Amino acid sequence: MAGIYIHIPFCSQRCSYCNFFSVVSINLLNEVIDAIIKEFSIRKDYLKNEPVQTIYFGGGTPSLLTIQQIEKLLNTIYKNFPVEKNAEITFEANPDDLTEKYLSDLKKLGINRLSIGIQSFDDNKLKILNRRHNAFQAVEAVRVAQRSGFNNISIDLIYGLPFQSLIEWENDLDKAFSLPIQHLSAYALTFEEKTLLLKQKEKKLIEPADEELMIKMYELLLNKSNQNGFDAYEISNFSLPEFYSRHNSSYWTQTPYLGIGPSAHSFNGFSRQWNVASIHKYIERIMKNNSFFEQEILSLQDRYNEYVLLGLRTKNGINIDELEQNFGIELKNFCLENIKTFIDNEKVYRYGSFLRLTTAGKLISDTIIAQLMMV
Ligand code: SF4
């Protein structure tokens, strides 16, 4: 089994918290699409003919693409890879791009999952985040998507926003769960390098939420999700049963994937590759048949670290039998020794051969994971 990720590195404007690779001019959009199509044919053997069970259009802003451009990309994938009949095909979109016509055309192309970047239902917070859309457009986007026949809709929200109170976060969650969504990704705000928010924080124009408030917000998220029948299947991901993101789940279970487009990452079980994070260099190198990515061969230790880091964030946790099978007795013992205190303190519990975070453990997951890393 395998997945394909396509990175569309264009945005209409830069959100204040975001440091993903993208540019705000779409001048080179056609050239990038041509280069992406060529990259697909160059790398058609990367997945070794494994059946492709998920395709993910991410970015940047894939909803800046025309329907014809998306169709061209999908046809290229179908031509070069064995895509499963019931593959999950996710499309990330900004709410204000989602017109009824665009959505029904996406549906006709076989896109069967939408991931809508809403972030907040509060207009003041959306302004702070420099999002293009307003709260009304966010709600409308979900409703129109449902009317257009989408029954697998995910939205993204961020909590711990500047000046956000617990009540305001509760309002965001209540609004989210009142909509016809099947999946929610909710992330704590982080202040990333080279972002406007970080600069504002450094100039003391905004105050980050304190730790106590962040914990209360996360607890509220867990409670509200639970009350609404959403399963916390990963620390930041919640869904109705049967609506787990198959694509993201495959990252967490270390299934091979091919990442196409500027800055996209790929993984085949033994190495990671990352494409050059520059539109000009990407186009030029692909078109001139020059090398356009770097590669790192993963050591046993690297693979153990990834297994623990990704696995412990999921509902299933990490399987210690699998850990021994894949990484040997020494790394298994290292893990068991280092996790012991957290088991004693009820931050982690054992379920058969699985080690899983308790609710209290989820609140300090970064600390636990750091302790289990082999450096
Ligand atoms: S959050 Fe999304 S839309 Fe905003 S700048 Fe980043 S990639 Fe673009």
DSSP for 87-133? EEEEEEE-GGG--HHHHHHHHHTT--EEEEEEE-S-HHHHHHTT-SS
Q: Ligand 1 center to residue 53 CA distance, Å?
A: 26
For the chain, the domains span 2-251, 300-372
- Specify the residue for token string 């198959």: 246
Under the banding of pLDDT at 50, 70 and 90, the label for residue 342 is: very high
Mean pLDDT, rounded, of the chain: 97
The per-residue pLDDT for range 184-217, each reduced to its tens digit, is 999 999 999 999 999 999 999 998 899 999 999 9
Q: What is the structure's pLDDT at 368?
A: 97
Q: Which residues, including other chains, have CB under 8 Å from residue 78's CB and lie 6 or more apart? A: none
Q: What is the structure's pLDDT at 246?
A: 97
Question: Number of C-alpha atoms within 13 angstroms, CB side, residue 97?
Answer: 21
- CATH assignment of 2-251? 3.20.20.70
- Our answer on whether the CB atom of 65 is closer than 6 Å to any ligand 1 atom is no
The per-residue pLDDT for range 224-247, each reduced to its tens digit, is 999 999 999 999 999 999 999 999
Q: Ligand 1 center to residue 221 CA distance, Å?
A: 23
Tell me the average pLDDT across 124-129.
97
Beta-ladder partners of 193 = none
Q: What is the structure's pLDDT at 371?
A: 96
Tell me the average pLDDT across 78-106.
98
Q: What is the structure's pLDDT at 364?
A: 94
Cα→Cα distances 194→21, 132, 256, Å:
11, 20, 31
Q: What is the structure's pLDDT at 156?
A: 98
Domain 300-372: CATH class, spelled out: mainly alpha
Q: Ligand 1 center to residue 62 CA distance, Å?
A: 10
C-alpha radius of gyration, the chain, whole number: 21
Under the banding of pLDDT at 50, 70 and 90, the label for residue 163 is: very high
